[in-house]
Amino acid sequence: MEKIKGICIVVVLLCCNMAASFAQEIKGIVYDLETSKKLGEVEIKNLRTKDVTKTDLQGNFSIPGKLNDHLSLMVQGYDRDTAFIYQEGVNRIYLVNDKSVLTIDEIVITKMTDSRLTQEIERAENNSKAVETSSTRGGLRISPSRLFGKEAKQARRSIEILQLEREKRNVDRVFTDDRILSLIPMEKQELLLFKDGYRPTYEFVRQASPEDMTAYIMDAYAKFKKNKQESLKN
């Protein structure tokens, strides 16, 4: 009897796990990047599952999927884009009007999708180049106006803040709440303080293996706890 009961429990657990896996979905809201207006009728496709849906009039959508999926987004009047889903919760995705000329700043870049960020880096790098092709003299030549001009200076500034944003995202994707909590249980407020004070550098993350990240988190948390205890004594 006990054996049958044990088998039943296993079957129930398996069914629950299967149901949970089938119930996975990605939720989000789509906005205009410059105006923050919510966009309806945006066609969204999960590139892994091939599922397709559209946003409602308030920009909301829900589509079968999971973390690390890529969604393509398309709507008339906006540049087609692809969003990488790397965090749980409601994903806020911003599209660029196809007639817009973006002014790159620290606020705008945080709203860009990864693919848009890459496009803007490539564009800024091209605008910052001092070498141009001469149609009359042939070959390549150095253009002082492109090297020292306002556009080139703006492009170099844009490259700097765009690359910093890309580096920040790369760190965010490995130094996650789930990863930390799988190693060390802690309250939300403590987690926020720990992440803020012991965030790894991009240089470390770029070359770290999963084992390196685990060791880093454990070591950093030990320092965090020690400093916290010392501050309570003072």
| Whether pLDDT at 155 is above 80 | no
d(CA 87, CA 64) in angstroms, rounded, equals: 15
- The predicted pLDDT at position 196 comes to 94
* Cα of 65 vs its chain's centroid, Å: 16
C-alpha distances out from residue 207 to 162, 163, 165, 183, 213, Å: 21, 17, 18, 21, 10
For residue 48, pLDDT over 50 is answered with yes
- Long-range contacts of the stretch 82-89 (C-beta < 8 A, 24+): 82/47, 82/113, 82/114, 82/115, 83/113, 83/114, 83/115, 84/113, 84/114, 84/115, 85/26, 86/172, 86/173, 87/172, 87/176, 88/178, 89/27
Q: Which of the 8 DSSP states describes residue 107?
A: H
* Tokens 């390196």 -> residue: 212
Enclosing H/E stretch for 197:
helix 188-197
User: Which residues make beta-bridge pairs with 221?
Assistant: none
pTM: 0.69
* C-alpha pair distances (Å), 164 with each of 15, 108, 168, 176, 234: 44, 13, 6, 18, 37
Taking only the tens place, the pLDDT of each residue in 87-123 is: 888 999 999 998 877 778 888 899 999 999 999 999 8
Higher per-residue pLDDT: 24 or 134: 24
Backbone Cα Rg of the chain: 24
